[in-house]
Amino acid sequence: AQSVAQPEDQVNVAEGNPLTVKCTYSVSGNPYLFWYVQYPNRGLQFLLKYITGDNLVKGSYGFEAEFNKSQTSFHLKKPSALVSDSALYFCAVRPPDTDKLIFGTGTRLQVFP
């Protein structure tokens, strides 16, 4: 079965420190990979995507993600966290030849001042 795993329900980090939010996937073929962020009672906002090419993808608000094909991972990173980054982050995968997105269970990021 195709799936996306976000192993951490919550990640806590101090402001100014680097952050990593983990994501692994199980999808046949070469999927497209996405990260979204959700603020309370809001929809999802697109952060970045990996389609092909360079394994390090840069996105909005200083976020980046590293694609690792051998480990089937797509971890979200940011060199220096801000309190305003505190939100719920979703990793999503779109299998080949489909327009549907499969979402992970989400990771709540809490950045402390």
Q: State the minimum distance, in angstroms, from the CB of residue 2 to another protein.
A: 12
Among 43, 54, 69, 113, binds another protein (CB under 8 A): 43
Q: Per rule CB under 8 A, is residue 97 in the interface with another protein? A: yes
Q: Is 106 near another protein (CB under 8 A)?
A: yes
Q: Which residue has the tokens 């192993």?
A: 7
CA 12 vs CA 4, 5, 37, 41: distances in Å: 21, 19, 16, 21
**Contact flag: residue 105 with another protein (CB under 8 A):** yes
The secondary structure of 2-24 as a DSSP string is: -EEE---SEEEEETTS-EEE--E
Figure out which of the listed residues 2, 15, 22, 49 binds another protein, where binding follows CB under 8 A.
Answer: 49
